[in-house]
Structure 1
Amino acid sequence: MPTKQMSAVQFESWRALYRADTLLYAHLDNTLRSRLKMGYFEHEVLRALDQAGGRMRMAPLAKELMISRSGATRLIGKLEDKDGWVVRRNTPEDRRATWAELTPAGREALAAAQPVVEAVVSTFFADHVSDEDLRRASRILDVLADANPNDDGFDCGL
């Protein structure tokens, strides 16, 4: 099956997005690790749980984090065993479901990470672009995210 050829503009835009995302991720991950012994994805687990009121079922958490269920299980296990930032619980209402819950230590770690994340995002991202351009970029990135399902059934035609 023939593949669609990207234009130079499409390729340059994709590379710019990839480069900016990779650099920002590296800055966030490295700074969180050096300052708080917390990886970027560990921070994202704590943030997701906090935004969900402190607890989520494992499957929706995996979807929120855009990782596999087994990846979410391993990550939660690490946060539970190593750091005590999260605990897993089952409920009598649904014995099949496992919930991840943010602990008080997890809330403290998330609060400690907030100024670090804000400083890195400001320094390496937001301070370099106007609010108008940030809003425009957000709209564009939302369109791209909405066009890319987070499931195994996606087929790009290859």
Structure 2
Amino acid sequence: MDPASAPAPAPGPEPRWLDDSERHLWLTYLQATTLLEDHLDRQLQRDAGMPHLYYAILVHLSQAPRRRLRMTQLAKNLKITRSRLSHAAARLEQRGWMVREDCPSDKRGQFAVLSEDGREVLRRSAPGHVGAVRQALFDRLSPGQQKSLGEIMEIIAEGLQPDEADADLPWLR
């Protein structure tokens, strides 16, 4: 069907538009999170030669039992598509920072495993990354503000946890 000839959706209730204060807060939040992610990505590119996603993969693997996770679980933890993870994993394998191993109990499954070289890269890059996080976020906030931010982020995260049976989730694609 041609989208131009599709019937118009039925009118619904009027949206609850953001007031000036809410709009300002929303736009400030977007700017701050974009700038923070860019700041951390540039620091890791400059100091460790890797994007923030690669660092996150290495961290997740380093914290997993036996430094290994199923690829599907890793995609879920990172909230990314399996395709994006597969591409990143190929790059990390080329660098010798991780390997993929077949899952003995599931012929279609694979494990991502942090290599010794990957552990070493993570060990060398973690101090600079933690410094960048501290400088960009924690050093700018009082202990009370840090506590409030943590509580706020927990409320938001809890409210956004998807029901996997009903959602179109990146890690299921």
> TM-score normalised to the size of structure 2?
0.81
3-state SS, counterpart of residue 160 of structure 2: coil
Give the number of aligned pairs: 153
Q: Which of 49, 57, 63 is the matching residue for 1:51? A: 63
The counterpart of 1:119, out of the listed 131, 153, 162, is 131
**1:36 aligned onto 2:48:** yes
Shift of 1:7: 2.3
User: For structure 1, which segment, 142-151 or 70-79, has the greater mean C-alpha deviation from structure 2 after superposition?
Assistant: 142-151
The structure 1 residue matched to 2:23, chosen from 11, 35, 57, is 11
- Distance in 2 (alpha carbons) for counterparts of 1:22 and 1:70: 23
Q: In 2, distance between residues paired with 1:33 and 1:110? A: 13
Corresponding residue number in structure 1 for 2:91 = 78
Instruction: Supply the RMSD in Å over aligned alpha carbons.
Output: 1.7
User: TM-score, normalization: structure 1?
Assistant: 0.89
Q: CA deviation at 1:149?
A: 3.7
C-alpha deviation, 1:11, in angstroms: 1.9
Q: 1:24 is paired with a residue of what secondary structure?
A: helix
Q: Which is greater in Rg?
A: 2
Which sections of structure 1, spanning at least 5 residues, go unmatched?
Answer: none
Alignment of 1:146 with 2:158, yes or no, is yes
Aligned to 1:66: 79
> Deviation above 4 Å: which 4+ runs of structure 1?
none
> 1:91-139 deviations in whole A, cap 9, x for unaligned?
3222221110000011011111111111111111111101221111011
Q: Give me the whole-angstrom Cα distance separating, in 1, the residues matched to 2:17 and 2:148.
A: 26
Q: Which residue of 1 aligns with 2:117?
A: 105
Structure 1 residue 8, shift from structure 2 partner: 2.3
